[in-house]
Amino acid sequence: MRLRDYLDPCLVFTELKPADKTDLLRELAQRIAGQVAGLDAAEILRLLEERERQGNTAVDTGRAVPHAFVPGLERALCAVALVPQGVDFGAEDGAPVHVAFVLLSPPDNQMSHIRLLARISRVAHRAEFVQDALKADTPEALFNLLTREDASHVD
């Protein structure tokens, strides 16, 4: 399973400047719904916020992986957002999040969802990943970084 199979370049966003975690989730929900026909931004936001109430999705220094199951979605999709100034995501280590991966999957695709969460973790785990991502000044540069990192890991 490769991340690039679920990550569309139109779902890679740089230079986001959210006021807080909720603002970031809202902006991402709107951007995703604006790019993927049939998705509703308010529903995506509701589902992401519901998941955050179950447990914070900040995974480690500078990274978060908000995710949800979305009824009506035909296949899993991943979006990535770069927040250069960082945003408080309530991480256990107190570090601001600079890179947020959003994973949305159909409710009947739980095993693939779990495998994709693991793949995202492997792709973004390298200590220098966040710093390298922050150097990406365009969505294309960030997409290229992600596909290179993805290719460097064995399936």
60-115 residue pLDDT tens: 789 999 999 999 899 999 999 999 999 999 888 888 999 999 999 999 989 999 99
59-69 residue pLDDT tens: 878 999 999 99
CA distance 70 to 108: 10
Domain boundaries, the chain: 3-151
pTM, two decimal places: 0.94
Q: What Cα–Cα distance (Å) separates residue 36 from each residue in 5, 11, 53, 126, 153?
A: 15, 9, 25, 30, 28
DSSP, collapsed to helix, strand or coil, labels residue 132 as helix
Q: Note the CATH architecture for domain 3-151.
A: 3-Layer(aba) Sandwich (3.40)
